[in-house]
Amino acid sequence: MRQVLIILAAVLALVAGPAQAAKEWGIDGEEVAQFEAKAVDVLCELTGDCPKNCGAGKRQMGLLSDDGTLRLAIKSNTLFAGAVLDLLAWCGKRVEVDGLLIKADPMTFYMVQRLRAPGAKKWTNARAFSKAWATENKQKNASRWFRKDPAIKALIKEFGPVGIPGATIPKD
Amino acid sequence: MRQVLKQLALVLAITAWVAFAWSGAAWAKTSGATTSGATPGAKRVTVTGEIVDTWCNVTMIMFAEGSAHYQCAVWCAVGGIPVSIKDEDENVYVVLRVEGEQSNVAAPSIVRIQAHQVTVEGDLIERDGVKYLLVTQVADDQGIVNLSHQDTAIQPFGK
């Protein structure tokens, strides 16, 4: 009975382990990367132009490692959304991130999938944009937010879905 | 007297050498400033290329160029994903500032010109595998010239 329980626990660990780690996307040059770094306003880090609170959501954010390496964080777990709001909560502080480091041909950057305080057990899913969008737009959730966002709808109405007013759109 | 003249000549020679070396260093510094950008450590550049959505374009998770991808590029720009300029040599320049604007997240000035072909002047800072561009002037905006929607369905999800 004891052996059965041990085997069952091992199987559960194998199944649960990968499910908790960062999700791979199959992108060329990607690697799962979990590390500690300081969350920084990238423009501040590069130029010394540093508004309060990392620009309060209006500045691209990055992860500055102890060895001085700066990783631009460009994507979160929300569809079509960046990681600015996820990292903003950690502005100037150390954070542990889990996600994908993508070393593509033209550039290297990071996709944040989850975050936590260094040493903490519990991870937070990198979906701060979804929460903020739903709150701001008085929606229950941010499902298909990109189809409902007022600013996007206004732009598509003005320029059309291909960015050229009056353009003929071929069938899909 | 002859000894004094020799010493005087030596002092003059050393003074002249020091003055020459100093002026050379000063010239080099000034010369460097003319090729550097206004931002310390930056290089002044002119870039011509298409405004692209950095995530979709660089990861190649979908076709992400021109008018067929315009709608998605707007979604990503409004969603706060960095916007870049991709030149004909496939260099990708992440735009961190446009003409003094303080915001580089969903900034209206750049959200409105997704997929446009532009020529910009600015300061280039390269660090850890990324070319960051601080645009000081949008010198030319040709609008959308890559009419990829004529050959490709709207990416992704269609209209």
Same domain, B74 and B94: yes
Q: Does B71 contact A161 at a Cβ distance shorter than 8 Å?
A: yes
Give strand ranges (E) for chain B.
43-53, 83-87, 92-98, 117-127, 130-141
The residue of A52, A109, A136 whose CB has the most chain B CBs within 10 angstroms, and thus the best one to mutate to test that interface, is A109
Rounded to a whole number, what is the distance in Å from the CA of B16 to chain A's nearest CA?
Answer: 39
The answer to whether residue B10 sits within a structural domain is: yes
Do B11 and B58 have their domain in common? no
Please tell me the pTM assigned to this model.
0.81
Same domain, B89 and B21: no
- B16 lies in the same domain as B48: no
When comparing pLDDT for B61 and B95, which is higher? B95
Interface test with B, best of A47, A91, A171 (most B CBs within 10 A): A47
* Domain membership flag for residue B13: yes
Instruction: Report yes or no: A157 at the B interface, CB cutoff 8 Å.
Output: no
Residue of B60, B78, B94 with shortest CB distance to A152: B78
Residue B133: per-residue pLDDT? 97
B15 shares its domain with B58: no
Residues B130 and B94: beta-carbon distance below 8 Å: yes
What residues make up the domain containing B108?
Answer: 43-150
Question: Chain B closest CA to A65's CA: distance in Å?
Answer: 11
* Residues making up chain B, counted from first to last: 159
Q: What is the pLDDT of residue B150?
A: 83
Please return the burial class of A169, using the count of CB atoms within 10 Å of its CB with bins 0-12, 13-18 and 19+. Answer: middle
Q: What is the pLDDT along chain A (172 residues), one digit of tens a residue?
A: 444 444 444 444 334 444 468 999 999 999 999 999 999 999 999 999 999 999 999 999 999 999 999 999 999 999 999 999 999 999 999 999 999 999 999 999 999 999 999 999 999 999 999 999 999 999 999 999 999 999 999 999 999 998 989 887 766 6
The answer to whether residue B61 is domain-embedded is yes
Among the partner-chain residues B132, B150, B159, the one whose CB lies closest to the CB of A161 is B159
Closest Cβ opposite residue B67 in set A25, A42, A164: A164
Query: Based on the domain organization, do B87 and B22 belong to the same domain?
Result: no
Domain boundaries, chain A: 22-126
Give the per-residue pLDDT at B30: 30
Based on the fold, state whether residues B83 and B47 are members of the same structural domain: yes
Percentage of chain B surpassing pLDDT 70? 74
Contacts of B114 in chain A (CB under 8 A): 163
User: Residue B132 in contact with residue B96, Cβ under 8 Å?
Assistant: yes
Q: Decide if B123 is inside a domain.
A: yes
> Which of A143, A155, A168, A171 to mutate to test binding with chain B, by most B CBs within 10 Å of its CB?
A155
Contacts of A87 (CB under 8 A, 6+ apart): A39, A54, A61, A62, A63, A73, A95, A112, A115
In this prediction, residue A90 carries a pLDDT of 98
Q: How confident is the model at residue B36 (pLDDT cuts 50, 70, 90)?
A: low
Q: Domain check: are B86 and B133 in the same one?
A: yes
B86, B114, B127 ranked by CB distance to A46: nearest: B127
Q: Do B91 and B23 sit in the same domain of this protein?
A: no
Contacts of range B29-33, beta carbons closer than 8 Å, 24 or more positions apart:
none
Instruction: Kindly state whether residues B17 and B51 are assigned to the same domain.
Output: no
The answer, for B24 touching chain A at a CB cutoff of 8 Å, is no
Residues B91 and B146 in one domain: yes
How many folded domains does chain B comprise? 2
* Burial annotation A114-127 (CB, 10 A radius, 16+ → b, else e): bbbeeeeeeeeebb
Q: What's the confidence (pLDDT) of residue B28?
A: 32
Q: Chain B within 8 Å of A59 (Cβ-Cβ)?
A: yes
Residue B155 in any domain: the answer is no
Domain contains B156 = no
Mean pLDDT of B42-55: 96
Contact A51, A61 (CB under 8 A): no
Q: Is B149 on the interface with A (CB under 8 A)?
A: yes
B64 shares a domain with B24: no
A80 touching B (Cβ < 8 Å): yes
* Residue B159 counted as domain residue: no
DSSP state of A164: S
**Residue B143 resides in a domain:** yes
